[in-house]
Amino acid sequence: MAQRVETAKSTAGAKSSGLGYAALIAGWLVPGAGHLLLKRWGRGFLILFSITAMFVLGILMQGKLYAPNASELLDLLGFLGDLGAGLLYFIGHMMGLGQAPVQVVTADYGAKFIVVAGLLNLIAAVDAHNIAVGRKP
Amino acid sequence: MTLTPSHFSAVLLFASFASIVFGITQRATPKAMLRYGIYCFVLFIGSVIVASWVMYFIRH
């Protein structure tokens, strides 16, 4: 009996762990997808709206999308922040967005919007993981 | 299409979106999320206004 309970517990743990990583990766790739996967509809759509809007506004302000450049530490940090936006970053990069030379003062704000959108997305993805593994209600 | 908001408009947009995500991720209940989101928004805007006045007095 006790062995059955232990087996059931470990199976449930493995399932929640698998779901936790799925929520983490989905949340990183698409903002809010981790919460949507866990049926937290309100939180998921709010995160999707906020982070996507922030990223798009950054692009519209002619913000820079950083590319991996190991020789410049600040560029590398910017790249890591941008990468947090998941598919938004890859799509933007493939479309050649955020590559134009800076011509307006708001381009600097735009670059910060994009980096912060990526960082906020990472926080949201970790939050989805915490919900999936039961660390947060 | 290019968007060129004023500095303060950019701050309002930034504070709104960042506060929503902070509220959702840093608190567990809807009521606490709303309160924390508003708290973050006020802190963002308040700190920008205070920093602006500090810079104004440094310059004058």
Chain centroid to CA A116: how far? 10
Cα–Cα distance, B7 to B4 (Å, whole number): 9
Cα–Cα distance, A127 to A27 (Å, whole number): 9
> Residue A74's pLDDT is what?
87
- Give the global pTM: 0.89
| A106 neighbourhood in chain B, CB within 8 Å | 3-5, 10
> Residue A8's pLDDT is what?
46
pLDDT under 70 in chain A at which residues? 1-16
- A54 to B5: CB separation less than 8 angstroms, yes or no: no
Q: Under DSSP, is residue A38 helix (H, G, I), strand (E, B) or coil?
A: coil
How far is the CA of A54 from the CAs of A58, B20, B26, B50, in angstroms? Answer: 6, 11, 19, 24
- B10 to A123: CB separation less than 8 angstroms, yes or no: no
Segment A41-49 long-range contacts (CB within 8 Å, at least 24 positions apart): A43/B24, A46/B20, A46/B24, A47/A121, A47/A124, A47/B20, A47/B21, A47/B24
- B10 to A127: CB separation less than 8 angstroms, yes or no: no
- A61 to B28: CB separation less than 8 angstroms, yes or no: no
> Residue A104's pLDDT is what?
82
* pLDDT tens sequence across A47-72: 999 999 999 999 999 999 998 877 88
pLDDT under 70 in chain B at which residues? none
Give the residue carrying structure tokens 């939180």.
A43
The whole-angstrom distance between A42's CA and the closest CA on chain B is: 10
- B21 to A60: CB separation less than 8 angstroms, yes or no: no
Q: A75: number of CA atoms within 13 Å, CB side? A: 9
Q: How many CB pairs under 8 A join A and B?
A: 63
- B5 to A113: CB separation less than 8 angstroms, yes or no: no
Cα–Cα distance, A130 to A132 (Å, whole number): 5
B31 interface with A at CB cutoff 8 Å = no
| ipTM of the complex, rounded to two decimals | 0.92
| B18 neighbourhood in chain A, CB within 8 Å | 50, 54, 116, 120
> Residue A3's pLDDT is what?
53
Residue among A50, A60, A136 whose CB faces B20 most closely: A50
> Residue A6's pLDDT is what?
52
Question: Any idea of the CA torsion for A73, B3, A103, B47, to the nearest 10 degrees?
Answer: -50
